[in-house]
Amino acid sequence: MLDVFGVGMAWDYHNTKTHIKEGEEQQQTQHQKTFIGKIPIMLRSTYCLLNGLTDRDLCELNECPLDPGGYFIINGSEKVLIAQEKMATNTVYVFAKKDSKYAYTGECRSCLENSSRPTSTIWVSMLARGGQVWTGI
């Protein structure tokens, strides 16, 4: 089982059965709680116990007051999420340009599905004056 600085998550199941026999109603309720796992909590986040503590309190807990948090503890190691944003491949994008010699620029990054080959990019630009088209690969 993973050693995670986090909170346990459980599924709480309630099932009520009603039996009506000879005008008499009987209810039978079943409760079941199943542990699903632990969800990591980002240090110093709203849900972290260290959030809002004074520097003195942090020192008493052997935590550095200068540590900004923003990471997770999983299996005793610090884990960080790094956001990566990239444009989708095999899609045509057209951009209107301002203060440029081109009025519009189109771009398409092509790649094969499930391939390790790098993407190929083609650009098509339309000049702002005269309507000429320029391409680049």
* 35/73 same-domain check: yes
Q: How many separate domains does the chain show?
A: 2
The answer as to whether 137 is a domain residue is no
Q: What would the pLDDT profile of 125-136 be if each residue is shown by its tens digit?
A: 888 877 677 666
Domain region containing 73: 8-79
* 112/73 same-domain check: no
* 71/120 same-domain check: no
- 34-55 b/e (C-beta count within 10 Å ≥ 16 → b): eeeebeebbbbeeebebeebee
* 14/70 same-domain check: yes
The answer as to whether 53 is a domain residue is yes
* 101/74 same-domain check: no
Q: What whole-number distance in Å separates Cα of residue 122 and Cα of residue 105?
A: 10
* 20/69 same-domain check: yes
Global pTM value: 0.51
* 51/106 same-domain check: no
Would you give the distance in Å from CA 122 to the centre of its chain? 30
Q: What would the pLDDT profile of 70-125 be if each residue is shown by its tens digit?
A: 999 998 899 999 988 888 889 999 999 888 888 889 999 999 888 888 889 999 98
The answer as to whether 135 is a domain residue is no
Q: What whole-number distance in Å separates Cα of residue 89 and Cα of residue 119?
A: 8
